[in-house]
Structure 1
Amino acid sequence: MTAPYDPGDREKVVAKLPADLRKELKVRAAELGRDIQDAVTEGVEAWRKAKGRPAVDTSGGTSFATYLPAGLYGKLKQACKSRNLSYNQGIAQSVRLWLDSNPSPRPKPARVTGARRIIFGNQKGGVGKTSVSAGVAQALAESGQRTLLIDFDPQGHLTKQLGYLMLDIDEASLAKHMLKEAKGELSELLVPIKGGDFEDHLWLLPACKDAFLLDAKLATTKAVRIKETALEKALEPLEQEFDFIVVDCPPSLGYSMDTALYYSRTRAGEDSSTSGIVVPVLAEDSSADAYDMLYDQIQDLVEDMDVDIALLGFVVNMYDSRKGYVATSSLSEWQNVGDPPVLAVVPELKDQREAVRVKQPLLVHAPYGDQSEVMRAVARRIST
């Protein structure tokens, strides 16, 4: 059903919904590839026409924000008043009605290749690989996907920005497991990321400074093909435990990046674009130069290893049209590439910087901000 409103003319509304209902809405919208605001709009329209809807338990409700078409908010309040209901109850019943009218699709067939593997890479630093990979992983987990987020950058920005400690240089680490120098199981290093509607669905594999040595050790190993397969072999025991494994790659073109690229390849029996690489960029020329270098590296690996690596798309990060011609023309150039596509444009806002400052996940610090909504949009595009 399409609401008879201009989709660009919306107003923000805030209500209090119980956590279970809020989570169910986000998961269902993700399953069906729908924007949450469109789902709520359809629910409100249907609820206004419905009669005798059962009450929804809204006790313990917490803040939930979305955008309704201008004018619909007022009509909703009028309908609530005429039915002697609170506004929160009206929104809750609308959401419940949409969920009941849009059942979950049938379960997808079991994957034969384990978790879907999404890497975020660009050899240029400062383009937002860490913030975008973290935000998308949170959105995937929020939609009900068991997600592992890996800090594969020895600088450890992802680990520190989320408020966790890097692994000690003498401890077991991902790098040591890749080089077969670690005892124990890699799963012992995972930590749950708490907060928001993704709780119990998101885990972090923290960084360790020993990853600075990884390229040199991979370069000197005599084992056949370990340079490309080391990451896959280390992560293989974890794959059946997760729906998605998201890797924040280092800003380099070395052997570490080769292992990540190989890990994201399309495996036998796997549909194209099930896994692959997302490239965060900025709307400026140096990002384009960096992408050219990354593309060459990908093509060299594809030819050398006879594999397919899906370029899932670009995320243009920290975009601000007020920067003028350089920004707007660069964005147009990214959009004109066509294949891979621009998955989303992340606006330059304070939310992500504030989240880093207070060491909170973006979808916890500003769950209803524009940047969080973009992360959800990217998650929907790569998960469908």
Structure 2
Amino acid sequence: MGRIIAIANQKGGVGKTTTAINISACLAEKGQKVLAIDMDPQGNMTSGLGVDKDEAEKTIYDMIIGQAGIEEVIQKDVMENLDILPTNIDLSAAEIELIGVENKEFIVQKEVHKIRDRYDFVVIDCPPSLSMLTINAMTTADSVLVPIQCEYYALEGLSQLIHTVELVKERLNPVLEIEGVVFTMYDARTNLSLQVVENVKDNLEQNIYKTIIPRNIRLAEAPSYGMPINKYDPKSAGAESYMRLADEVIHKGEEE
């Protein structure tokens, strides 16, 4: 049965979507069967994996409002071993359409659980807010992976996210855990990056991934070409880091 990982941080600009795109693609390259689910209305995961979000006939929005089943929305083999549930800006209206709908927190879970057995991993990119879409992602997921930017305010907002995860676990999804924290945008030239890493390690009782994602020009360029970093520049520091992170994610499942 596939492991479902939501990638969440309500702070924008922390490398959340970059992590969602590249971990999906790197897991797929390592021979894992992966479903990427884009639940951020900006649709950057969709376009970053080479799918034209405005051309998608059916998106996760259609699934959420009950106009389409998951089978109709999945775009198969966008890369080898990688399928996607695409999204676009329409999804931003879902929040309003769900007002008054019963069990609206479980709409995505119900659909995804129908097909999770076909995949080794399901990776969900959450919007940068603690919205109903994020709650849907968390009721669907087994765990939440949190990217943290190596900057001064890194810990701000993190306690809020952990509190949300705990509430969802308590009330809606008893199996939900924090998968771990991954540091992004690490700049080896600054003492600040190092201090942030040390500070988080001292203050956080969470699993912290050994792999640290560097600040990397190639990583920033890749999405504009609709490619994950392992396809755009497989020799770059960014690609090597995400391949290592994918290994850690795979082996974390084996340890348990």
Q: TM-score, normalised by structure 1?
A: 0.61
Structure 1 residue 129 displacement after superposition: 0.9
Describe the SS at the equivalent of 1:219.
coil
For 1:295 and 1:160, locate their aligned partners in 2 and report how far apart those are by CA, in whole Å: 29
* Residue of structure 1 in register with 2:189 after alignment: 322
Identity rate of aligned residues, in percent?
Answer: 26
Aligned mate of 1:263, from 134, 140, 151: 140
Aligned-residue Cα RMSD (Å) equals: 2.0
CA contact (8 A) 2:36 2:122 kept: yes
Q: Is the 8 A contact 2:139 2:173 kept in 1?
A: no
Distance, in Å, in 1 between the alignment partners of 2:115 and 2:20 is 19
Q: Which has the larger radius of gyration?
A: 1
Tell me the SS of whatever aligns to 1:322.
Answer: coil
Q: Pick the aligned partner of 1:233 from 106, 110, 120.
A: 110
> Which amino acid in 1 is paired with 2:236?
G
Q: What SS does the corresponding residue of 1:285 show, helix, strand or coil? A: coil
Going from structure 1 to structure 2, the CA distance change for 1:177 and 1:370 (only over 3 Å counts) comes to same
Q: Distance in 2 between matches of 1:303 and 1:361?
A: 35
- Seen in structure 2, the aligned counterparts of structure 1 residues 155 and 252 have a Cα distance that, compared at 3 Å, is same
- Tell whether 2:58 aligns with 1:172: yes
5+ residue gaps, structure 2, are 252-256
How many pairs are equivalent?
A: 250
Q: Distance in 1 between matches of 2:88 and 2:177?
A: 28
Picking from 247, 251, 258, the partner of 2:124 is: 247
- In the TM superposition, residue 168 of structure 1 has moved relative to its aligned partner by 6.0
Letter in structure 1 aligned against 2:122: I
Q: CA deviation at 1:146?
A: 0.7
2:29–2:80 contact (8 Å) kept in structure 1: no
- Looking at structure 2, the residues matched to 128 and 193 of structure 1 have their Cα atoms a distance apart, in angstroms, of 25
Q: Does 1:204 align with 2:77?
A: no
Cα 1:239/1:214, change in 2 over 3 Å: same
The aligned residue for residue 121 of structure 1 is 8
Pair 1:190 & 2:74 matched:
yes
Q: Deviation above 3 Å: which 4+ runs of structure 1?
A: none
Choose from 154, 161, 165 the match for 1:298: 165
How far off is 1:297 after superposition? 1.1
Matches within 5 A, 1:22-37: none
Give the Cα–Cα distance (whole angstroms) in 1 for the partners of residues 169 and 74 of structure 2: 31
Question: Any idea what the Cα deviations from partners look like across 1:244-279, whole Å, max 9, x if unmatched?
Answer: 111111011111111111111xxxxxxxxxx31100
Q: Where does structure 1 lack aligned partners over 5 or more consecutive residues? A: 1-113, 265-274
Within 5 Å, which residues of 2 pair with 1:80-119?
114-119=1-6
**Which residue of structure 1 aligns with residue 254 of structure 2?**
none
Superposed displacement of residue 234, structure 1? 2.0
How far off is 1:193 after superposition?
5.3
Secondary structure of 1:315's aligned partner: strand
User: 1:25 maps to what in 2?
Assistant: none
What is the TM-score of this pair, normalised by structure 2? Answer: 0.89
CA distance in 1 between partners of 2:212 and 2:200 (Å): 10
Determine the C-alpha separation between the residues in 2 that align with 1:321 and 1:374. 14
